[in-house]
Amino acid sequence: MPTASQGAITRNNVLPSIDTSVCYRITEPEKAVYRILDVGSAISATFAGMVRAKIGKMDLDEVQANQTTLINTVKKLVEGAQDHWGIEVTRAEILAVNLDAATRANMMKQLNAHVLHR
């Protein structure tokens, strides 16, 4: 699937944009055709929703430090739909955690203030 970008809100109210990638293969074409209208859209929407839900329970620092754990957790959750949809998610990744310029600038100010007070 093409790279998807979705917004999320962390537990500490930061609004990153998360770039994700999901690879899947169809294992049972009859299920992929008759049980769901658009498998790709369904996987994308399910994956995005789960990523947002998990990120909402984490601070930004946790999201950045635990991307592998986060994506593995979400991948396992998506696996619940695999059998019903006749697919197998073969790979899932968080490609980037992007912050807007204002958030990055504020983080730099905090970092500089912390360094100055040492």
In the chain, where the domains are located? 4-116
CATH T-level assignment (fold) for domain 4-116: Tetrahydropterin Synthase; Chain A (3.30.479)
| Per-residue pLDDT at 117 exceeds 70 | no
- For residue 47 the two structure tokens come to 């994956």
Please provide the size of the chain in residues: 118
| CB-side neighbour CA atoms (13 Å) of 25 | 3
Q: How confident is residue 53, by pLDDT bands cut at 50, 70 and 90?
A: very high
Task: Judge whether residue 61 has pLDDT over 90.
Answer: no
Highest-confidence range of 33-42, 49-58, 95-104, by mean pLDDT?
49-58
* Residue tagged 């730099």 (tokens): 108
